[in-house]
Amino acid sequence: MILRLNTDIAAGIVGLAFAAVLWLPRGEMGRLSIIFPRAVLVILVVIAVGLIVKGFIRPGSRRVVISGSLRRLLVVMTGFFVWWFAIGTLGFVVSTCVAIFLLTWYLARVDGPVSWRRLLQWVPIIGVLVGVFYLTFTQVLNVRLPTGLLL
């Protein structure tokens, strides 16, 4: 599909929508714990507003080619938002393992059916990946991650 649109305005609107969804309060967080995420969101809003202003001052229309499946794109985007909200209930480790496993399975289905053997080969890789992220955040960066059912 080929679209002709002002990419500055489109990117600014997507950035504002993304920031609005992530700005919503998510349970009890300490004053110091929320400083970095809020600062990143403020920077995102400033950049998004700047893009929108630039889009109106110097409009630059571009042809945008969207290849691949629009359905897959929407499913993956929805999956990331479901994962974001699941972190509060299930915890970081459980929700991230489930999200990465389902995302990998969904995207691998493009080539055809996925065998159980192939699914089982992904489990240790996903475990190591999530473990590295968990240890990096908790031990190196000293960030307390949400806990849920198991971790």
Give the pLDDT confidence of 50-99 residue by residue, as tens digits.
999 998 888 777 776 777 778 888 898 899 889 988 888 888 889 999 99
pLDDT tens for 10-34 read: 889 999 998 888 776 666 666 666 6
Q: How many domains does the chain have?
A: 2
139 and 73 within one domain: yes
Which pLDDT band, with edges at 50, 70 and 90, does 115 fall under? confident
More confident site: 137 or 31: 137
Q: What angle do CA 139, 34, 37 make, to 5 degrees?
A: 85
**For residues 134-139, average pLDDT:** 88
50 and 6 within one domain: yes
73 and 104 within one domain: yes
Q: Residue 138 in contact with residue 144, Cβ under 8 Å?
A: yes
Domain termination site, one of 67, 84, 104: 67
pLDDT of residue 81: 87
Both tokens assigned to 129: 């990946």
151 and 85 within one domain: yes
- Tell me which residue range forms the domain holding 73: 68-151
Both tokens assigned to 126: 């996903």
Using a pLDDT cut of 70, give the percent of the chain over it.
88
Both tokens assigned to 91: 């915890």
89 and 23 within one domain: no
User: Helix-strand-coil percent breakdown of the chain, rounded to 5?
Assistant: 70, 5, 25
Which phi and psi (to 5°) does residue 122 adopt? -75, -25
pLDDT of residue 98: 92
12 and 22 within one domain: yes
**For residues 37-47, average pLDDT:** 88
pTM of the model: 0.61
88 and 46 within one domain: no
72 and 146 within one domain: yes
111 and 57 within one domain: no
Q: Is the pLDDT of residue 129 over 90?
A: yes
113 and 58 within one domain: no
138 and 85 within one domain: yes
Domain termination site, one of 11, 37, 67: 67
**Range from 50-54, 77-81, 107-111, 147-151 carrying the lowest mean pLDDT:** 147-151
59 and 112 within one domain: no
